[in-house]
Structure 1
Amino acid sequence: MEQLEDEYPGDSDWNVFVRLYEEDYLDDNARTLAKVMDGYLDMAVVLNGKRGLEEGLWWIEQKVPALGNKRPADCLKNPKLIKRLRTALMRMP
Structure 2
Amino acid sequence: MGKLEQYFKGEESWIKYSNLFGEDWTNSNFQLKLLEKCNGKLDIAKVIFYHLGENSLKWMDSNVPALDDLTPLECLNDEKLINRLKECLHRFP
Same-fold call, TM cutoff 0.5: yes
Taking the aligned partners of 1:42 and 1:32, their CA distance within structure 2 comes to: 14
- 1:26 matched to which residue of 2? 25
Aligned residues: 91
Answer yes or no: is the 8 Å Cα contact 1:4–1:88 preserved in 2. yes
| Runs of 4+ in structure 1 over 3 Å off | none
Normalization by structure 1: what TM-score?
0.91
- 1:37 matched to which residue of 2? 38
Contiguous gaps of at least 5 residues in structure 2: none
**Is 1:86 aligned to residue 86 of structure 2?**
yes
Bigger helix share: 1
Q: Percent identity?
A: 34
Taking the aligned partners of 2:5 and 2:18, their CA distance within structure 1 comes to: 17
Written as runs of structure 1 = structure 2, the 5 A alignment for 1:2-81 is 2-22=2-22, 24-28=23-27, 29-52=30-53, 54-81=54-81
Taking the aligned partners of 1:31 and 1:13, their CA distance within structure 2 comes to: 25
